[in-house]
Structures are given as C-alpha cells and as structure tokens.
Amino acid sequence: MEKLTEKELNALVSLLDDSDKEVKDHVKDKIISLGNDVIPFLEKKWEDSFNPELQKEIEELVHELQFSLLKERLEEWKQSEDRDLLKGLWIINTYQYPDLEFETINADMQQIYFDVWTTFKSDLRPYDQIRLINNVLFSQLKFSANTKNFHSPGNSMLSNVIATKKGNPISLCAIYYLVARKLGLPIYGVNLPNLFVLTYKTDEATFYINAFNKGLIFSRQDINNYLEHLKIEPREEFFQPCGHEEIMKRTMRNLMVSFDKIGEPEKVEEVRQLLDILEN
C-alpha cells in the first residue's frame, strides 16, 4: 500500500468537497486505493470537521472501505476449508458493527457455552440433554423470540442477539447449534420454509428442535403437518441437515427482508452483493 504523509492526506481530504466532480471522483479513488489503514485518519477528520458536506463524503468513503474489507473476508471464508460458522456470522455482523472484533463475539459465545457445560451431563438420554440445554438458554439466560420486532436487522446480528437475548429463528438456532456442537452433540441446522430449526440426528434417534419456541422438541410428522398447513409439498431437504453456507445465506436473506421492511434499499442491494459472493 502506498504511504502518504499526513500533510498529503490532509490535502487529499480537503478536496473531497471540491465543486468539480471529476476532481472529487479522482480524490475518492485515490483514498480508496489506500485501503483500510486510512480509516482512523478519515474518522479523525470527520470529528474535526464542521462541514456537513465533507462529513457525508467521509462517511461514504469509510463505509465503502469497510464494505470492501467485509467482502474480502467473506470471500476468504468461502474458500476456507472448515467454513467456521461463528466466524461467518461475525463477518455478517461487521456490516452493521464494523468495529466489532472476532475475539469479542467469540468470548461471549464461550461464556454461553460455559454456562451450559457446567450443568450438562453427557450420560443422559438425548431428550434429557436437550431439556438441560433448553433450561440454561431459555430459562436461566433468558434467550427468547423477538416477536415484537421480528423484522429488525438486529435479529440477524449475533452480537445484538447476545446483548438483547432476543433473536429470530436462525440466530437463536445458530447460538444453540454452536453450543451443542461444542458439547459434541449430533445437532444440525434444518432449512424449513419460513422457519429455521435444528435436528438431533443419529442412527438411533432423530428429532427436531425449535429454538424460536424455547427449544420445543417435535417430530418428522410435525414437519409434515407444518408443510401441509403452508400448502407446501414435502421435499427431503426440509428434513435433512444443512451446511454452514446455507445458514449464512439464510441469514443474509433475512437481513435483506429486514432492510426492505424498514425502507433501506441501498442496504438491501449491498447484502445482495454479499449473498452473490456465496452463491457464485
């Protein structure tokens, strides 16, 4: 990356509100080419400025730089071997909270896991293990469905769900799943129409868990009834585990719906770009 002196950077930024569009565009391209290292300098300039036009230009530049970093991280995640779900959800999280460090969200998840682990007994029958997890997550830690603000973008932001203890089906399932997998349980995500659930799946036992309804346990027949109610033809994928990439895509689609509902078309378009990275 090219290094500019503070004086040169100051001169560049001062041209951001130049009346000549060509000059302005050239300056923007130049600043973007400097990469993310320039963000702290831009943020300082924003704080020191009393010019709302200049502040707006700086905000847009910072967002563009942060968004470009997010896309890079997502591309790397897609190419990675394990496609670590927590890392993926953190990357999505940085769309709304660009300064959020992975270590922070990882530490929060470790604490939730620890709270469950201290009461967990691996010699129990599967149903009883699930009841124990449900008790800690939904009764002690008070995680619950955000029915009041179902379409809030915050429901797709893991850090927000951990802080408020409220989420949508997929974010609550993600927390449940991450804890269960760390406990060594055969639990997976299941992509149902209009609802995301979990399955406990072994050769001996298969049942389903609805984290949006306090970990309610249900059967394959219940899914059939649910699909029939929605007038949707059953397909095998509605009963089978899905991978981390599917969970990520579903989270992004939810986010697009959320931004659409609150009238933010630019954000819908940006999240669509993120979804394209995973789909192509």
Quick check: is 169 in a domain?
A: yes
Q: In whole angstroms, give the CA distance from residue 229 to residue 187.
A: 26
Same domain as 124, residue 62: no
| Whether residue 36 sits in one domain with residue 96 | no
- Name the residue range of residue 95's domain: 85-279
Residue 237 is given by DSSP the state G
Same domain, 94 and 233: yes
pTM here? 0.89
1 inside domain: no
Residue 220 placed within a domain: yes
Q: How many helices, marked H, and strands, marked E, lie in the chain?
A: 12, 6
> Along the chain (280 residues), what's the average pLDDT of each consecutive run of 10 residues?
72 74 79 81 83 84 92 97 97 96 98 97 95 98 95 96 97 98 97 95 94 96 94 92 96 97 97 97
How many domains in the chain?
A: 2
Residue 105 lies in a domain: yes
Integer CA distances (angstroms), 46 to 4, 40, 53, 178, in order? 18, 10, 10, 39
216 forms bridges with which residues in the sheet?
A: 210
Please say whether the dihedral angle defined by the alpha carbons of residues 95, 96, 102 and 106, taken in this order, is positive or negative. Answer: negative
Q: What six digits make up the tokens of 149?
A: 């603000």
Q: How far apart are CA 233 and CA 5, in angstroms?
A: 64
**What sign for the dihedral angle of Cα 85, 91, 94, 99?**
positive
Res 2: pLDDT = 61
